[in-house]
Amino acid sequence: MATNHLLEIKQYGQSVWIDNLSRDIVQSGELQNLVENQGICGITSNPAIFEKAIADNAIYDADIEAGIEAKLPTDKIYESLVFADIRNACDILRPVYEATNRQDGYVSIEVPPTIAHDTQATINEARRYFQEIGRENIMIKIPGTEAGCPAVEQVIAEGINVNITLLFSVQNYINTAWAYIRGLEKRVAEGKDISKIASVASFFLSRIDTNIDGKIDAKLGRGVDDINLEARLRAVRGKVAIANAKIAYQEYKKIIESDRWQTLASQGAKVQRLLWASTSTKDPNYSDVMYVDELIGPDTVNTLPPGTITACAEHCHVANRLETGVNEAYHLIESLKDPDININLDAVMDELLSEGINKFVQPFQSLMNSLERKVKLLSPV
C-alpha cells in the first residue's frame, strides 16, 4: 500500500487542516474520512469558499425555503446555512479536539469581511458568532489589520478562540502574536483560566510569490543587460514567501522564549501556532507541494485546499525543513532592497493585505446577491 505522506507530517509536530468547507463534504462522509484516514485535524473556511458552496448548490434549498417561511432577512438566512455547516463540522472534529487536549479539531469561520477595519464591530460579531454557533471547538477568524489587533486582544481575554488571518508581513505577525499574549494577560489579571483558549496566526504564502514574481517578470521583460543581475532576479522567483515564513518562525521562537510568554505558559497557556495559508502553488513551473515540503516543523499548522491534500498524500517529501536555510532566507529578503532588484517588500505586503480583504469582500457580496436571487426564486408567489 502506498505511503500517505500526510500522516508522516504529524510526526514533525505539524497539523494538517483542510481549507474547504461545504455541506457536501460534511453530509457525504468525505470530511469524516479525511479526519479518520488522512490525518486532517481542522478546517478553515472563508467567504470565497462559502460562495462556491452555496451559490449553485441545491443542497441548501430546503433550508433557504425554511428561512423564507420564517421571514428571515437574507443575511440571517446566510448565517443559518453557514452556522449549520460549521456546527456539523465541529461535531465531526470534536473527537480530535478532545484527543489532542484542544490543540486541534477546530473549525474556523470569518467575521464578515466588510468590517475588517472596524474594531468594535469585529469584537461584537466574534462574540455573537461564538455564542450562536455554540461549539467549544470553533475558531473565529479576524483579519490582521490595524483594527483587528485590539479586537484579537479583547476576544482572547473573553475566552474566544481566534484565527488571525491575512498575515503577510513578519511585523504584522509579531503584532498579532503580542495581541494574543496581552489578551491572555488580561484574562489572568481577572483570575480566569487560560488553558482552554487556542489561537493560530495565518501567514499567507502563494500570493506573495505571485506578486513578486510578476514584478521580476516585468523587469526581465524590459530586458536586462547584465547577465549576473538577470541570474539574481531569476533566483528570487518563487522564493520570497517561503523565506518570509521561515523568518516569521524565528520571530515565533523569540516570542515563546520571552519571560512574558513563559509566565503564561506556566499557567497553562497554549502557544499561538503559525498556520501556513494560501498554499496551493499558482505557477505550474513550481512543485505543487512546495508550500508544504519547505515549511514542515513543530508547533505549526498547514491548511491545504483539496487538490494540494491529494498531491501531498501522493508525493510530499516529508522532513523538518522549517529551520533549514534560515540565513539564506534573511539574505534573500535583504537582497530585495538592492538598488538593482529594488522591490519594496513592505509596500508589497500592504498591497496584499488590502487586496486580501477585497478578495473576501467581493465573494461575500456576490454570495449575498446570489442568495437574494435564490430567495426570490424559491419564494412562493
Q: Compute the distance between CA of residue 75 and CA of residue 70 in angstroms, rounded to an integer.
A: 13
pLDDT band at 55 (very low <50, low <70, confident <90, very high): confident
pTM over 0.75, yes/no? yes
Mean residue pLDDT of the chain comes to: 95
Catalytic residue among 10, 52, 71, 141: 141
Q: Tell me, what's the pLDDT at 46?
A: 83
Q: Tell me, what's the pLDDT at 1?
A: 54
Q: Tell me, what's the pLDDT at 14?
A: 98
pLDDT at 381 over 70: no
pLDDT band at 176 (very low <50, low <70, confident <90, very high): very high
pLDDT band at 226 (very low <50, low <70, confident <90, very high): confident
pLDDT at 136 over 60: yes
Q: How many CB atoms lie within 10 A of CB 32?
A: 13
Contact assessment for residue 43 and residue 354, using Cβ atoms and an 8 Å cutoff = no
Closest to 255 (Cα-Cα) out of 325, 178, 162 = 178
Mean pLDDT is highest, among 77-81, 259-263, 368-372, for 259-263
Active site residue 254: no
Q: Compute the distance between CA of residue 93 and CA of residue 325 in angstroms, rounded to an integer.
A: 35
pLDDT at 105 over 60: yes
At 374 the three-state DSSP class reads helix
Report pLDDT digits (tens) over 229-283: 899 999 999 999 999 999 999 999 999 999 999 999 999 999 999 999 999 999 9
The alpha carbon of residue 96 and the mean position of all alpha carbons in its chain are separated, in whole angstroms, by 19
Q: Tell me, what's the pLDDT at 58?
A: 87
